[in-house]
Amino acid sequence: MNIEITQLSKTYGRGAKAVRALCEVDLTIGPGMFGLLGPNGAGKTTLMRILAGLVNPTAGKAVAAGHDLATERGKVAVKAILGYLPQELGLYPELSARQFLDYMAILKGLDEGEARRARVGRTLELVGLADVAERKLKGFSGGMKRRVGIAQALLNDPQIMIVDEPTAGLDPEERIRFRNLLVDLASDRIVILSTHIVEDISQTCRDMAILDHGQVRFRGSPAELIARAQGMVWQIQTDNGHKPNNGLVVVSTLQLADGVQYRVVGQDVSGYPGAKPAQPSLEDGYVWLMQGVGDTASAS
């Protein structure tokens, strides 16, 4: 099973107000966890909403598990095997987790009472909320709310899960637990995770893409992205407080007793004779790639 996206474009609005959110995107996404990384406004949500059958593309094609999303029949077929956690999911604060999921299950057409209750119960267990199922949602932490969000996406036991920035606003411990839950779910599904947090991807995905201004800037494994920054990452120590510049991007700053140590990404460190090469991380790869994009954009 896979998702085939071909020359997919989406423009919102018309004329002078038109916004090009996606531009000729080509992607093939297979089973497991797929990371979609990109800055604000890159087009991540737009792509996910198209795959969920909620938005029609302006041009191009998306086919999920053999169903063409351009047709009504395809959309219905995909919705039956897809779970979607939107970037902003509204919860009903006065409902308990179980009540909310039961309500969502009814909306999704699981109308046979006994089967629905069993499914809600199984889903609560799957996301680790069985113990707090009778508590009102208004008392839930950010991480617990995200689990409820995943639970509602899992009600139909989908083969494809689309989760839009699910880790935003979580504390580190919740983020890690949540990531692990997604990895578990991805063992027998396609899970597409969008984020602008590089670490979410480096810890979970073997396959990823970077979207920027509606275009795919990178497609491959995190290891390949890291390799792109090989030889471009340096440690520079200064004692005069001058931040490195000339095309170098500072990715971190460490105050030392006798100066400041910078980690920088860039090609030309000739102005810094003491620069020491460093092993790139995924974040360095991302910074290097986006920096390169910035260079070409300003040159053209």
Ligand X SMILES: Nc1ncnc2c1ncn2[C@@H]1O[C@H](COP(=O)(O)OP(=O)(O)OP(=O)(O)O)[C@@H](O)[C@H]1O
- Note whether 156 binds Mg ion by CB under 5 A: no
Question: Considering the complex, what minimum distance in angstroms separates the CB of residue 129 from ligand X?
Answer: 26
**Which one of Mg ion, ligand X, none interacts with residue 285, CB within 5 to 8 A by kind?**
none
Question: Is residue 41 within 8 Å of 194, Cβ to Cβ?
Answer: no
- Note whether 209 binds ligand X by CB under 6 A: no
- Note whether 254 binds ligand X by CB under 6 A: no
**Among positions 136, 177, 196, 219, the unique one binding ligand X when judged by CB under 6 A:** 196
Residue with smaller CB distance to ligand X, 14 or 242: 14
Question: Is residue 6 within 8 Å of 60, Cβ to Cβ?
Answer: yes
Only segment of 4-12, 55-63, 70-78, 81-89 that touches Mg ion (CB under 5 A): 81-89
| Coil, strand or helix at 236 | strand
- Note whether 46 binds Mg ion by CB under 5 A: no
- Note whether 216 binds ligand X by CB under 6 A: no
Looking at residues 77 to 136 of the shown chain, list those that interact with ligand X (rule: CB under 6 A): 87
**Among positions 23, 27, 45, 263, the unique one binding ligand X when judged by CB under 6 A:** 45
Distances (CA, A) of 64 to 71, 93, 106, 236, 278: 12, 34, 25, 48, 41
Question: Considering the complex, what minimum distance in angstroms separates the CB of residue 45 from Mg ion?
Answer: 3
Residue with smaller CB distance to ligand X, 123 or 167: 167
Question: In this structure, what is the dihedral angle of CA atoms 291, 295, 298, 300, given to the nearest 10 degrees?
Answer: -140
Question: Is residue 75 within 8 Å of 42, Cβ to Cβ?
Answer: no
Question: Is residue 294 within 8 Å of 282, Cβ to Cβ?
Answer: no
Only segment of 5-13, 45-53, 98-106, 261-269 that touches Mg ion (CB under 5 A): 45-53
Name residue 96's beta-bridge partners: 136
- Note whether 167 binds Mg ion by CB under 5 A: no
**Among positions 42, 78, 233, 264, the unique one binding ligand X when judged by CB under 6 A:** 42
**Which one of ligand X, Mg ion, none interacts with residue 280, CB within 5 to 8 A by kind?**
none
Residue with smaller CB distance to ligand X, 164 or 174: 164
- Note whether 19 binds ligand X by CB under 6 A: yes
Structure tokens at 164: 């839009």
**Which one of ligand X, Mg ion, none interacts with residue 58, CB within 5 to 8 A by kind?**
none
- Strand pairing class (249-256; 259-265): antiparallel
CA–CA distance, 130 with 234 (Å, rounded to integer)? 48
- Note whether 195 binds Mg ion by CB under 5 A: no
**Among positions 3, 8, 21, 186, the unique one binding ligand X when judged by CB under 6 A:** 21
Question: Is residue 161 within 8 Å of 190, Cβ to Cβ?
Answer: yes
* Phi and psi at residue 274, to the nearest 5°: -90, 5
DSSP string, 24-82: EEEEEE-SEEEEEE--TTSSHHHHHHHHTTSS--SEEEEEETTEETTSHHHHHHHHHTE
**Residue ranges that bind Mg ion, judged by CB under 5 A:** 44-45, 87
**Residue ranges that bind ligand X, judged by CB under 6 A:** 12-13, 19, 21, 38, 40-46, 87, 196
